């Protein structure tokens, strides 16, 4: 995995001379050595995150890197067709043709809960070979704003199908957990109609920043309709539980749209690491907001109960595990706003990001009183979330379908 991550970063940092030389692809096809960025089929292979496709791109490198662009042997295939990865000169055995019973090609999902959960983990949940990965770069504006391709699993949940209607009034968030499912809180899930993927700036569908002498831009924001809403608890639980949103189509992954890792086998966050990170577009008004990066420490539940009358009773009634967090730095410039809810509470483990829970409320004080509207922010008040406990993880696996 480390080799894969290093390679992804490497292609953005180094370049090679733009000179065309004859070459042979890993499949033995005669071609020319050209810039990776002028070879669509290899760029598509790289964006697929498939380990075999990424390995094929690495084996297509045809010149030492000096200056200019990264050079690859660009043929007509983006994966191995006639050679094995473990031995680049070994031919695949001849294909043995035989009649196929089309009725048995697609394997049905198993019936038992345990077997079905294993099926979902293997077939429908992204493998840890690809989930939770993002570019590591230093294109940060400050401590809280992010790079263009940071947290590519964060999504903006719209409660209206109109692109710009109430642009700041429905800043719900969610997290992409597969190519067709988003996890969020009950409030954001209940009102969801459209999911925006790959967004960076709330006022623009394409965002650009200068990177040295080159302007880097995101891909256009993707709008996908919500096909189904699956709620974990009862309607009486209010906002204090989870919702799964099924998209009306499968989406393709890219540098700006990728899934986060789920705690399928339990949390990997060390007990000595109390800090969780979250992101979103919460604001005190309709101004432009860039995707944030906020760091909060887990604290006693009482810190949240003290600022919200009725919170303790609601959490117990919904039978969820509360995550109460306070800013990591006492005088931090981080601004958490009421519009942050629905987004993921995250942590990084061995270069991968995992979701630990979902935000249900960000408290914001105004002269000693606490507001539930969208016009207040605070850098000292707590944030309340709900943890993804084993029971909720099982609920997720039970409800994701092909």
Q: Which domain does 178 fall in, by range?
A: 114-259+394-399
**Measured distance CA(389)–CA(317) in Å, rounded:** 16
More confident residue, 216 or 250: 250
Q: Would the pLDDT of 103 be above 50?
A: no
Same-domain status, 240 and 140: yes
Same-domain status, 126 and 243: yes
Q: Would the pLDDT of 385 be above 90?
A: yes
* Within-domain flag for 98: no
pLDDT in tens, 38-50: 787 888 887 777 7
* Within-domain flag for 97: no
pLDDT in tens, 175-210: 999 999 999 999 889 889 999 999 998 888 898 876
Looking at residue 19, its pLDDT comes to: 44
Same-domain status, 252 and 383: no
Q: CATH number for the domain including 204?
A: 2.40.10.10
Same-domain status, 229 and 343: no
Q: CATH number for the domain including 68?
A: 3.30.1640
Looking at residue 211, its pLDDT comes to: 62
* Within-domain flag for 88: no
Q: Would the pLDDT of 21 be above 50?
A: yes
* Within-domain flag for 199: yes
Nearest to 257 by CA among 158, 184, 145, 174: 174
* Within-domain flag for 289: yes
Give backbone dihedrals phi and psi of 57, rounded to 5 degrees, phi first.
-60, -45
Q: Would the pLDDT of 344 be above 60?
A: yes
Same-domain status, 255 and 281: no
SS3 for the chain, per residue?
Answer: CHHHHHHHHHHHHCCCCCCCEEEECCCCCEEEEEEHHHCHHHHHHHHHCCHHHHHHHHHCECCCCCCCCCEEEECCCCCCCCEECCEEEEECCCCCCCCCCHHHCCCCCCCCHHHHHHHHHHHCCCCCCCCCCCCCCCCCCCCCECCCCCCCCEEEEECCCCCCCCCCCCCEEEEECCCCEEEEEHHHHHHCCEEEECCCECCCCCCEEEECCEEEECCCCEEEEEEEEEECCCHHHCCCCEEEEEECCCCCCCCCCCCCECCCCCCCCCCCCCEEEECCCCCCCCCCCECECEEEEEECCHHHHCCCCCHHHHHHHHCCCEEEEEECCCCCCCCEEHHHCCCEEEEEECCEEEEEEEEEEECCEECCEECCCCCCEECCCCEEEEECCHHHHHHHHHHCCC
Q: Would the pLDDT of 130 be above 80?
A: yes
Same-domain status, 237 and 344: no
Looking at residue 225, its pLDDT comes to: 94
Q: Would the pLDDT of 100 be above 50?
A: no
pLDDT in tens, 366-375: 544 444 444 5
* Within-domain flag for 265: no
Beta bridge partners of 231: 243
Same-domain status, 162 and 255: yes
pLDDT in tens, 141-171: 455 568 888 999 999 998 865 555 555 556 7
- The number of folded domains in the chain is 3
Same-domain status, 234 and 207: yes
Q: Are 72 and 87 in contact (CB under 8 A)?
A: no
* Within-domain flag for 266: no
Same-domain status, 173 and 37: no
Same-domain status, 245 and 286: no
- Please give the mean pLDDT across all residues of the chain: 78
* Within-domain flag for 102: no
Same-domain status, 190 and 225: yes
Same-domain status, 301 and 182: no
Nearest to 15 by CA among 68, 54, 61: 68
pLDDT in tens, 298-323: 999 999 999 888 899 999 999 999 99
Domain's final residue, options 31, 57, 80: 80
């Amino acid at each position: 995995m480390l080799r894969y991550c290093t390679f992804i970063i490497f292609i953005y940092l180094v370049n090679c001379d733009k000179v065309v030389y004859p070459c042979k692809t890993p499949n033995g096809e005669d071609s020319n050595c050209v810039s990776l960025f002028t070879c669509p089929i290899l760029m598509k292979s790289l964006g697929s995150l498939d380990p075999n496709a990424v390995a094929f791109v690495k084996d297509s490198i045809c010149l030492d890197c000096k200056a200019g662009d990264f050079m690859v042997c660009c043929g007509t295939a983006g994966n191995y067709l006639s050679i094995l990865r473990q031995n680049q000169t070994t031919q695949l055995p001849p294909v043995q043709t035989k009649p196929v019973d089309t009725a048995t090609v697609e394997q049905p999902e198993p019936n038992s809960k345990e077997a079905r959960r294993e099926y979902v983990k293997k077939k429908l949940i992204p493998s840890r070979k690809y989930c939770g990965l993002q570019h590591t770069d230093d294109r940060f504006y400050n401590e809280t704003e992010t790079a263009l391709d940071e947290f590519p699993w964060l999504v903006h949940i719209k409660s209206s199908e109109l692109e710009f209607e109430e642009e700041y009034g429905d800043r719900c968030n969610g997290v992409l957990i597969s190519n067709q499912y988003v996890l969020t809180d009950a409030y954001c899930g209940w009102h969801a109609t459209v999911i925006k993927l790959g967004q960076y700036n709330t006022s623009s569908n394409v965002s650009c920043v200068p990177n040295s002498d080159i302007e880097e831009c995101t891909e256009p924001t993707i709008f996908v309709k919500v096909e189904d809403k699956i709620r974990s608890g009862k309607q009486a639980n209010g906002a204090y539980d989870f919702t799964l949103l099924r998209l009306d189509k499968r989406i393709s992954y890219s540098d700006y749209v990728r899934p986060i890792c789920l705690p399928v086998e339990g949390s990997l966050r060390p007990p000595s690491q109390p800090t969780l990170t979250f992101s979103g577009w919460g604001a005190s008004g309709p101004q432009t907001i860039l995707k944030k990066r906020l760091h909060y420490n887990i604290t006693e539940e009482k810190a949240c109960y003290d600022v919200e009358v009725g919170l303790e009773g609601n959490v117990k009634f919904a039978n969820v595990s509360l995550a109460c967090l306070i800013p990591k730095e006492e005088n931090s410039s981080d601004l958490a706003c009421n519009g942050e809810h629905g987004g993921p509470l995250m942590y990084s483990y061995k270069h991968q990001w995992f979701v630990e829970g979902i935000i249900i409320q960000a408290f914001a004080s105004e002269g000693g009183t606490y507001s539930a509207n969208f016009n207040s922010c605070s850098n000292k008040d707590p944030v309340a979330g709900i943890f993804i406990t084993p029971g909720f993880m099982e609920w997720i696996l039970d409800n994701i379908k092909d």
